[in-house]
Amino acid sequence: MKSIIVHLFMLIILVILAACQNEQDSVITVQPSAIVSSPTSIPTSAPLLPTVTITPIPSQTSGPIVTPELAPSIRLSEDFSGEFTCVETFDNNAARGRIEDASYFLEIRNANEIINANCETLVVGNLDLEVDVSLLSVPPEGAYYFGVVFRVSGFERYAFVIGSEGTYCSYYANNEFFIPLTNSTDYEIGCWARLPESAMAEGRQHLRVVALEDRFDFYLNGILLGVVRDNKLREGWVGLVAATADEGGLIVAFDNLRVARP
């Protein structure tokens, strides 16, 4: 996993995004936005940030990774039915990432945590990334989100996440600032955009990202949510992400992780 500094920064991003999410009450126009400065310069009109706890999450080696023979267009295919996976596994007081019942589970026990679990054996730029996601347990109170990261390179990454308030967000982040790719027009430092009513399915959700050069298309259950452009990262790892705000107790199951050439 990444350094404590990176983890703290990502926690602050989570708090900002969660606060922004609760402010929205209208459909949002999807558009690239200007760079948001570091969290220390948040306007005083923004909600106060709660105290966060730094919780480094060490990666654990599960064993040798056996890569199945894939079709030429498929770069990665994980149904988590075996004993090993390229996605990081871990277990500590804050969170746990594990394989069980042919799924990959991210369980976040604490409040104000953001957990990334990367597949560090695959570096890819242009991609068609898909995964199925099911919520097994959600916090009694407070916001949360879940989704995927891609083109992860050092401290930098892109993320596409679904929020607890019927919203979605995509952003670029490094260890100094983040840039919302989807942007709230109702909140100065927002990122969350309203999902179409028809986009959310009952039970399992199917997330998809198509990244081709500087263009990213984001889908939920086959519905195109938005198209944005950004050229800061050309390639990197893919991974899974989940996060909590005011309370822990989030358990998310991921299945059918697939990366293909677009």
Q: Strand (E) positions, the chain? A: 74-78, 90-91, 95-100, 103-108, 114-124, 127-137, 144-153, 156-163, 167-173, 178-180, 193-194, 205-212, 215-220, 223-229, 236-244, 250-260
The pLDDT value recorded for residue 115 is 93
The pLDDT-based confidence of 67 (bands split at 50, 70, 90) is very low
The pLDDT value recorded for residue 70 is 64
The pLDDT-based confidence of 183 (bands split at 50, 70, 90) is confident
Residue where the block lists tokens 């944005």: 228
Q: Name the architecture of domain 4-260.
A: Sandwich (2.60)
Q: What is the pTM of this model?
A: 0.76
